[in-house]
Amino acid sequence: SDPSRLETLKTLEDRLITPKGRYPQPRFIDQVQYLYGVISRADQLPGRDAYQRFEELEQVLAEMQESAVTRD
């Protein structure tokens, strides 16, 4: 197996999955789930901050996809 590919996958995993432990920094998947929960439970249209956060998360996803492609 290619060491650079393994490094790329490990880096992506670290950015996607929140580590176990006390007070870990939420990673991408948990952030998307949180935003989805906030929006789906609301009894009104999402506010501007929800749209901004969604755009930020879209950018993070695009960066992760780009880094996976360029390192491949």
CB 50 within 8 A of CB 35: yes
**Structure tokens that stand for 29 in this block:** 């998947």
pLDDT in tens, 4-50: 889 999 999 999 999 999 999 999 999 999 999 999 999 999 999 99
- pLDDT band of residue 71 (cuts 50, 70, 90) is low
Average pLDDT of the residues in 48-58: 98
Q: Is the pLDDT of residue 57 over 80?
A: yes
Q: Which domain holds residue 31?
A: 3-71
Number of domains in the chain: 1
Tell me the H-state helices in the chain.
Answer: 3-16, 28-41, 48-71
Query: Residue 30 burial by CB count (10 A; 0-12/13-18/19+): exposed, middle or buried?
Result: middle
